[in-house]
A = this chain, B = another copy of it.
Amino acid sequence: MLTNKEKKQIRSLQIKKYRKQYGEYLIEGARLISSALEVEDTPLKQIYVTKAFLSNLSHQEFIEALRKKEMPFCVVSEADLLSITDTVQPSGIAGVCSFSHKNDIKPDDRNNWLYLFEIQDPGNLGTLLRTAVWFDVKHIALSPNSIDPFNAKVVRAGMGAHFHTSIFEPLELSVLKKTHTIFGGVSNGASISSIETIEEPWILAIGSEAHGLSPEIINRLDFSVSIPKIGGGESLNAAIAGSILLYELTGQNP
């Protein structure tokens, strides 16, 4: 069982300040926990699980995997689990993961990057992380004034992407060295499919839902790119635009 002090500490991970202070965040549900366990050098530190979850026959394989990994788990009451999580649909299992904040970028960095400028919507950020991992872009930088990437809703939408990316935040685009070609999604750029040669390493910059990229960032771009509109509407959703640009940049259409 959990003491009140423990509950309070875990619950505090719903607040950004305490996530930073403890270097930890909470994940919920068997699916995310499984994903975290599959990672070599797993970020999972501790699992909280209800009796009902443990005795559910459909979870036996999963529990066997937990035991094999020697992951410490603590059996808690339904009420305690609810009290420490932000959950919408109680799943009977949650875990605490550690993260390390990254701010050092090697001067000879050759990785492709996704640079996100003032993204505010947790679903958009989580989805962009998920797409980036799918296309093997594992270096993500967030500008100042972005939503916290370890916010519970972002983690939920990320569907495990957090375990496979290095998230640098907050980071100014200028910190990423000039060895990279910088693409930026804008409303009036060249069609992304018209760019003939994509030189790596690159950075793809995607702007906020409401205001796009800032003038300062647009000034730094090597290529201002767009997804041509053949129908109507003011814009594409930021996560959609970013994902289509990632799809193109990672050479799905040679």
Contact = CB atoms under 8 A, between A and B. Distances in A.
Given A193-B253, A239-B240, A253-B253, A133 B227 contact: no
Q: Which of A130, A135, A232 counts the most chain B CB atoms within 10 A?
A: A232
Interface in A126-150: 127, 130-138
A100 interface: no
A236 B131 contact: yes
Contacts of A136: 230-232
B252 A193 contact: yes
B236 A134 contact: yes
Interface stretch (A79-87, A157-165, A217-225): A157-165
A229 interface: yes
A131 to B, nearest CB: 5
Contacts of A137: 231
A72 interface: no
Contact of A244 (B123, B130, B247): B247
7 contacts: A130-B236, A130-B237, A134-B229, A136-B231, A159-B237, A227-B247, A230-B252
Interface of A: 35, 123, 127, 130-138, 157, 159-161, 164, 191, 193, 227-237, 239-240, 243-244, 247, 250, 252-253
